[in-house]
Amino acid sequence: MSALETSTPSAVSAPVPERARTTHVVGAYVALMKPRIIELLLLTTVPVMFLAAEDVPSFWLVVATVVGGTLSAGSANALNCVVDADIDVKMRRTARRPLPKHEVSSRSALVFGVALGVVSTLWLGFFVNWLSSGLALAANVFYVVGYTMILKRRTTQNIVWGGAAGCFPAMIGWTAVTNELAWTPVVLFLVVFFWTPPHFWSLAMRYREDYAAANVPMLPSVTTSREVASQIVTYSWVMVATSVALWPVAGMGWFYTGMALTLGIVFLVEAYDLKARSRETEELSVIKPMRLFHLSNAYLALLFVAAAADPFLR
């Protein structure tokens, strides 16, 4: 009996259904946009729209802003994946992204990222306003060129200055409603600016070996956990002080001010605990940096929701 005759159906590769292939490809392009990061950016956009309106903003304006913001952030993230493809493949946290897994070609990802950027700029310009559109474009360019291409591989302060790109959604949310800038969104911009180092460095502590392997000078990969924790505490104090400064600047009421103080105290306690744990060891299982990382996400979300709710409770 020949080998062909003895082969079983399981030995022959079954064709992949067209629907499954399409779903896989769509999923890969969606992954290029980094949806989890976009969710966090929208959490600092929509609440500010409520604060700017001091009421419930137009539903369609919110939808248009969210769609435009999603496309703009997705563009920046996709282009980031293209530029960082060589280091993403070396890091556990990023090795499953579409480019390292060869699910999407670099050229296709580049075209996709640029197309999203063009569409988002025009969408925000025509359906929101051109000031918001310009701010979104500026954030996109700064993230891709300023952070990804210039700062990330050259300085330990990469995320400090590069993280400014993630602060723009607060201003975009404000200008979407008012079509002008003011001190209130600037203060919120600064809150996110000072929040970014504690947030990202706590994550980078968890993956410091990845950054070292990829030769990216993220602070936790080039210095001790104790030094990183000390800087986290410093930035945390400035972040909390800036969040409270919104009270006199924007005339916030008791609800926001109370929440800012309460959330700030909780954040500072965890930051100091991280510092205390890092004094004794470099063992991540003892330092537990992800506790602060997860807390930082909750902190930012609750703070901005408090800002949105405050006008209704004054």
Q: What is the pLDDT along the chain (314 residues), one digit of tens a residue?
A: 333 333 444 444 455 577 777 888 899 999 999 998 888 888 999 999 999 999 999 999 999 999 999 999 999 999 999 999 999 999 988 999 999 999 999 999 999 999 999 999 999 999 999 999 999 999 999 999 999 999 999 999 999 999 899 999 999 999 999 999 999 999 999 999 999 999 999 999 999 999 999 999 999 999 999 999 999 999 999 999 999 999 999 999 999 999 999 999 999 999 999 999 999 888 988 899 999 999 999 999 999 999 999 999 97
In a domain? residue 14: no
What pLDDT is recorded for position 9?
44
Query: Is 2 domain-assigned?
Result: no
Please indicate, yes or no, whether residues 39 and 176 belong to a single structural domain of this protein.
Answer: yes
Co-location of 186 and 176 in the same domain: no
- Residue 59 backbone phi and psi in degrees, to 5: -60, -45
**Domain of 205: which CATH number?**
1.20.120
Question: Residue 60: phi, psi to the nearest 5?
Answer: -70, -30
121, 154, 180 - which closes a domain = 180
Pair 149, 88 in one domain? yes
Co-location of 111 and 228 in the same domain: no
- Can you give the residue range of the structural domain that contains 113? 30-180
Does 42 share its domain with 152? Answer: yes
Residues 201 and 83: beta-carbon distance below 8 Å: no
Q: What is residue 23's predicted lDDT score, i.e. its pLDDT?
A: 85
pLDDT of 252 reads 96
Residue 74 lies in a domain: yes
C-alpha distances out from residue 61 to 50, 67, 68, 124, Å: 11, 10, 10, 10
Q: Given this model, what pLDDT does residue 281 score?
A: 87
Q: CA 146 → CA 20, 178, 182, 278, distances in Å?
A: 38, 28, 25, 31
Asked whether residue 168 falls in the same domain as residue 278, the answer is no
61 within domain boundaries = yes
Residue 19: the pLDDT is 72
Residues 145 and 256 in one domain: no
What is the pLDDT, as a whole number, of residue 20?
72
Q: Report yes or no on 248 lying in a domain.
A: yes
Domain-ending residue, one of 180, 207, 224: 180
Query: Number of structural domains, the chain?
Result: 2
Q: What is the predicted pLDDT for the residue at 242?
A: 98
Specify the pLDDT at position 15.
56
Q: Are residues 191 and 307 in the same domain?
A: yes
Domain assignment of residue 50, yes or no: yes
Are the CB atoms for 264 and 237 separated by under 8 Å?
no
pTM over 0.75: yes
